[in-house]
Amino acid sequence: MKKSTKFLASAAAALALFFSIDANAQSAPKFGIGLNVGAGVGTGQSFAIGGDLRYQFDVDKQLSIPITAGYTNIQYKDAYGDISFGYIPVKAGLKYFFNDTGAGVYGLAEAGAAFGVGDYSGTDFVYSPALGYAWSNGLDLAAKYEGIASGGTNGYVGIRLAYGFKL
């Protein structure tokens, strides 16, 4: 079976599991939109910018399951000038709030696939740990690292500024 077929089958099974968990959750799912900016960590990388959409449902008041997709562009400088690498990260993870209100300080770990676009097409593993603060009014600010396992050091350290609301 091809890797892409296995990935799609796994993603469908995970979504089915997540929706069954959501049926028993105590609060409404949330939808968010975020802006990511940062500094590249690989050789020659300079600036990273991107945006994402996040669907998040609560297992309980402290634990949530986010599913995130978006677009990120990392700028490189090499002997031939400036080039850019764009990819579409699709990730799922766990978000844990350190208090029982469902707001405040949280830790987040996500993993998934990075689909390269343009000249750098291909699929790589992407992972993203973060530490953030979510206000009860929907604003969310996080410090994060997003790494791409593509045979070298690729990724960025940055911040995510987002706004989320209940569906």
State the residue for tokens 């790494």: 147
Between CA 5 and CA 111 the distance in angstroms is 18
Which residues 6+ apart lie within 8 Å of 13 measured at CB? none
pLDDT at 142: 98
Q: What is the pLDDT of residue 44?
A: 81
Fold of 3-166: Porin (2.40.160)
Give the per-residue pLDDT at 5. Answer: 43
> What letter does residue 118 receive in the DSSP assignment?
G
pLDDT in single tens digits along all 167 residues of the chain: 445 445 544 554 455 455 554 444 457 899 999 999 999 998 888 899 999 999 999 999 899 999 999 999 999 887 677 888 899 999 999 999 999 888 899 999 999 999 999 877 789 999 999 999 999 999 999 999 999 987 777 899 999 999 999 88
Separation CA 35–CA 126 (nearest Å): 18
Return the amino acid letter for 98: F
**What are the domain boundaries of the chain?**
3-166
